[in-house]
Amino acid sequence: MLPRRHEEKQKIVATKRKYSTPIVLAADELRRRFENIIQHIDKIEMEAWLTPDELDPSEPEQLQNYYYMNTLYRFGCFFGWLEHLRRTIVYLDFTSVRETRVFANYLELIKEGFSTPRLIPCEPEDCPDNHDDQWVYKGVLQAIGELMVVKDGEEYGCIGFTSFEQKLKTEKVWQRWFESVHDLFVDLKKKDARFRRIIASHALLNSFIEFTDSSHIRTRSQQNHVGRLTMAEKEALNEHARICGVKEFYGASVTILYLHGYQSAPGGTKPSYMSRHGHKVVNPALPDDKFEEAVRIAQREFDHNRPSVVVGSSRGGAIAMNIQSGRTPLVLLAPSWKTDGSVKTVKSNTTILHSRMDDVVPFADSEELVRNSGLPATALVQVGNDHRLADLDSLIAMLEACLRYSVTDSWMGRFMESGLFRWLRRSRLFKSSRTDGPPSGSS
């Protein structure tokens, strides 16, 4: 009995690992399209990118038609791979093994994101066109997946884009099943409840990819946009996640140490924005005339609260660079590091936000800081219209940078800094495990 159960477990894990790569890549393609929609929604609405012309196969393809068609294609490919996985595991119990159970729970959560009516409770001021919400029922998602799956020899895959486009233009069965997907995207507007659903679905896809490809070997790290959602909307998403067996996703609350700038005070626009989104913000008063005293205060608050992330604005950014924060991530807003403090580099898990129109701290200072620290160019985010970075886009980018660092990463960082971890490194148990090497069959 035991060998049979072990054999079944191995088969389940092998099936998941075989199909995880194409599913993750398809999820990444859909996530990138949603990222593009979120970033360019004003232009999409103004230039009608998601308003296709009459689907006439004899007419040359226009930009709007391509963007619209490619969006539907990426949507279909993701559910095509899910359908292929469903057929393969029909006689396997994916919930019996933890590795596959969490994977399956995430896929179920993503389907819920598209199929649940009124997924998130939009406030009237956020989406006055709330009646325009649109969802795609699970049976329709499965039918779309069935259409997308094709067999090539002994292997299965998804239909190519050219064939997809032709079938959607000419075959009524394709048009019928993709009708609700069409309704989800067509004539999309920033104030639609549908746009809120796309933001939420992007967050779910992002969380799934971070779980399955946390080292980003097959995908690239991407900003999360839950900062655009209200606290009630994020709580609703978290509740759906818990129901589906996903304990945490990016909407989880974090503790943030916020260090204000020169001639500023606690309770400003930026810490208040993060507090309104449900995060615990530690915001001490820092003296303007004594930099070393400000560093001591910040260090004391850091040691006492052990935050998940440290945010520093202008002079507060320089203070954040000068405290002993270990592996805790930094989010620096136009840091005045050239005029304040002695530290001239930052750690690898640092994000810098800065405006090119800053007339107080030159944008070039942050470019130099990135070079000095050996950070990738993506660590510097160009945003905002001035030094304060208090406009909505800047506030959203700040919160997204904070939420990019998961609760798990923060916990692991604290553990590695703890006395227990240092004791384990010195112990015979740790040394013997390193000497013996990995167990047979591990990777």
How far apart are the C-alpha atoms of 351 and 333, rounded to whole Å?
Answer: 9
pLDDT at 210: 78
Q: Which residues of 11-50 are buried (b: 16+ CB within 10 A; e: fewer)?
A: ebbebbeebbebbbbbbbbbbbbbbebbeebeebbeebbb
* 173, 344, 345, 394 from 387: Cα distances, Å: 55, 20, 21, 11
pLDDT digits (tens, 9 = 90+) for 186-240: 999 988 889 999 999 998 998 888 778 766 778 887 666 766 777 777 778 878 8
pLDDT at 427: 55
- Predicted structure pTM score: 0.64
Least confident among 91-105, 152-166, 399-413: 399-413
Residue 1 scores a pLDDT above 50: no
Average pLDDT, the chain: 81
Tokens 């992002």 locate to 206
Q: What is the distance in angstroms between the CA of the first residue and the CA of the last residue of the chain?
A: 27
Mean per-residue pLDDT, 239-268: 81
How far apart are the C-alpha atoms of 265 and 284, rounded to whole Å?
Answer: 8
Alpha carbon 240 to its chain's center: 17
Largest CA distance in the chain: 74
Where is pLDDT greater, at 410 or 182?
A: 182
| DSSP E strands, 243-306 | 255-259, 280-282
Q: How confident is the model at residue 417 (pLDDT cuts 50, 70, 90)?
A: very low
How far apart are the C-alpha atoms of 127 and 124, rounded to whole Å?
Answer: 5
- Asked if 347 and 369 touch (Cβ cutoff 8 Å), the reply is no
Residue 314 scores a pLDDT above 70: yes
Closest CA to 302 of 279, 274, 275, 330: 330
pLDDT at 430: 44
How far apart are the C-alpha atoms of 215 and 37, rounded to whole Å?
Answer: 25
Residue 303 scores a pLDDT above 70: yes
pLDDT at 130: 47
Least confident among 184-193, 335-344, 407-416: 407-416
Q: Is 439 helix (H, G, I), strand (E, B) or coil?
A: coil
Least confident among 253-257, 263-267, 429-433: 429-433
Helix H segments across 96-137? 98-115
Pairing of strands 280-282, 255-259: parallel
How far apart are the C-alpha atoms of 85 and 79, rounded to whole Å?
Answer: 10
Least confident among 25-34, 178-187, 242-251: 242-251
Residue 95 scores a pLDDT above 90: no
DSSP string computed for 14-60:
HHHHHHHHHHHHHHHHHHHHHHHHHHTHHHHHHHTTT-PPP--TTSP
How far apart are the C-alpha atoms of 92 and 33, rounded to whole Å?
Answer: 32
Q: How confident is the model at residue 16 (pLDDT cuts 50, 70, 90)?
A: low
- Tell me which range, 100-109, 288-297, 413-422, is most confidently predicted by mean pLDDT: 288-297
How far apart are the C-alpha atoms of 404 and 64, rounded to whole Å?
Answer: 32
- Asked if 310 and 328 touch (Cβ cutoff 8 Å), the reply is yes
pLDDT at 211: 78
What is the Cα gyration radius of the chain? 24
pLDDT at 434: 40
Listed in order, the ranges of the chain carrying CATH 3.40.50.1820 are 255-420
Residue 92 scores a pLDDT above 70: no
Residue 123 scores a pLDDT above 80: no
Residue 332 scores a pLDDT above 90: yes
| DSSP E strands, 189-274 | 255-259
How far apart are the C-alpha atoms of 127 and 402, rounded to whole Å?
Answer: 25
Where is pLDDT greater, at 190 or 95?
A: 190
Q: How confident is the model at residue 329 (pLDDT cuts 50, 70, 90)?
A: very high
What top-level class would CATH report for the domain 255-420?
Answer: alpha beta
As a dihedral over the C-alpha atoms of residue 165, residue 170, residue 175, residue 181, rounded to 10 degrees, the angle is 20
Residue type, 393: D
